[in-house]
Amino acid sequence: MIWLLLAVFTPLAGTLLLALIPRARMAGLANLALSALSLAGSLGLALRVLHRGSLHGHGFLVDPFNVYLVVLTAFVGLTTAVFSRPYMEHVHLAEKRVSPAGMRLYHSMYQGFLFTMLLALTTNNLGILWVAVEGATLATVLLVSLYRTPAAIEAAWKYFILCGVGIAQALFGTVALYFAAQHVLPPGANGLDWSTLYAIAPQLEPRVMVVAFAFLLVGYGTKVGLVPLHSWLPDAHSEGPTPMSAVLSGLLLNVALYAVIRMKMLTDAALAASRTPALAGHLLMGFGLLTFLTAVVSLHRRHDIKRLFSYSSIEHMGLMTFGFGVGGPLATFAALLHMLVHALTKSSIFVTVGHATHIARTQRIERIRGLIRTQPAVGWGLLLGVVAIAGFPPFGIFASEFLLLSATMASWPWLAPMLVLGLVIAFAGLFRNIQPMVFGTPPVDQQAVRANMLPVMLHLALVLSLGIVIPAVLSNWLGAATMLITGAALR
């Protein structure tokens, strides 16, 4: 339990501590140290689950499904903090875009953001899950509006309103879920504990569960970025600080999808004996495919580099949602692997995007040119990140997309051409924008900046290695999570 407390509550302590540190440089170092401490706790927690099985008690539940997401969240939180320290110092001291009070708010909310995500992943109580996701929303709103420009304030309000409406739907779905369990709960049991509900899921009222899942899908799906409630995501990315974009795209979307899949597991068990046992999966397939196709078309004719990659995030969240909807061991394993490699790749891309915008002093794509000539490390980092996110071998995203396509061809062969066509359109949309940014002629006023590329190199090396071979420990984790979600082992 000590590892769990260290992983989850270190960021909570950091939220309070960093609000009091007046010097930005000291706060950046403290943010880095706290993130490292949380990662150490998550690794200890993962080893405990690996050797002794799931951890259950005191309101927490850590099993093979969420333990690797806990490690991933803490790891990306640390590497982004490594990038964030010099980046935000530049924004604060050189560009004068953030006041000292704003820097305290930024570092405090960074840790608060990590705390709410880790709490959402580890809690056993669906009410606390809802509160944690809402807390993540509030922390993100404050980060999106950090620069205090009219566009940033507008983006923050748009994000708050859309996600507020969505989270209200999730609350209604949670209440409906509790209502469905009222008559079959064991004496003294907590009707909002996921483990309790999962044990009695076959006895839950199917018609009420259909209503509950519909509201939960729309509610948490808003945070996933599912169409049609996805429009907050490009605005939040384009107006907020770049480190926020890295953790938002790489982590928060995963946490929201995790919540949806937990609810799908309950719904599948409740509807197993009904005439529509795969209803939840079909809904995920429909929303996922719609989101994927909408995003790949939207990748074209973008003018803001951060908005470009926000649509790429929407595309990949659609793919993951579709994979979990297809169900079965192979598609589920592919979706779990895709959650991992997408988070690593997209966060590395946003690190390079942050440096590229400092080099060009703008987010406008047409004014970012010749990065390989101006600063080769940033140019090559951006190019390799886009190659990876586009699904080129031997990067890990190719492996997860290939597995998902194979599962689709086996179960829904008529949908496979749509996936292939969408991936080709996405490839075209990314490279028509990236090619001049990397290889074009740089403007005369474009100058090199001090870039910290360590997180990029580390993330892309991991994604490359996962495309070549998946370590046995990780394969066993994903296999156990696949069995937990689907009830069947991967063969």
Which of 95, 124, 153 is a domain's end point?
124
| DSSP string computed for 203-233 | GS-HHHHHHHHHHHHHHHHHHHT-TTS-THH
Residue 422 included in any domain: yes
pLDDT, mean of each 10-residue run, the chain (491 residues): 89 90 85 93 91 84 90 94 88 82 90 94 93 90 88 87 88 91 78 87 89 93 88 84 86 92 92 83 94 92 88 93 92 94 93 88 86 88 93 92 94 92 92 88 76 89 93 89 78 52
**DSSP annotation string for 365-413:** GGG---HHHH-HHHHHHHHHHHHHHTT-TTSHHHHHHHHHHHHHHHH-G
Indicate whether 176 belongs to any domain: no
Q: Residue 334 is part of which domain span?
A: 292-491
Domain presence at residue 237: no
Name the domain boundary from 107, 124, 141: 124
Report CA-CA distances (Å) from 82 to 34, 216, 329, 413. 11, 35, 36, 44
Residue 304: beta bridge partners?
Answer: 364
Q: Which residue in 34, 79, 143, 37 sits closest to 344, CA to CA?
A: 79
Instruction: Give the residues across from 125 on adjacent strands.
Output: 193
Rounded CA-CA distance 229/246 in Å is 21
Domain end, chosen from 102, 124, 146, is at 124
Q: Tell me, yes or no, whether 118 lies in a domain.
A: yes
Position 285 scores a pLDDT of 95
Residue 56's CB is within 10 A of a number of other CB atoms, namely 13
The string over 356-378, giving b where at least 16 C-beta atoms fall within 10 Å of a residue's C-beta and e elsewhere, is bbbbbeebebebbbbbbebbebb
Encoding tokens for residue 99?
Answer: 């006041």
Decide if 222 is inside a domain. no
Question: What integer pLDDT is reported at residue 88 of this predicted model?
Answer: 87
| Number of domains the chain contains | 2
Which stretches within 90-205 are classed as H helix? 100-122, 126-144, 150-181, 194-199
Structure tokens belonging to residue 59: 């309101």
Residue 342 has a pLDDT of 94
Q: Is residue 189 in a domain?
A: no
Residue at token pair 């990590």: 114
**Would you say residue 188 lies in a domain?**
no
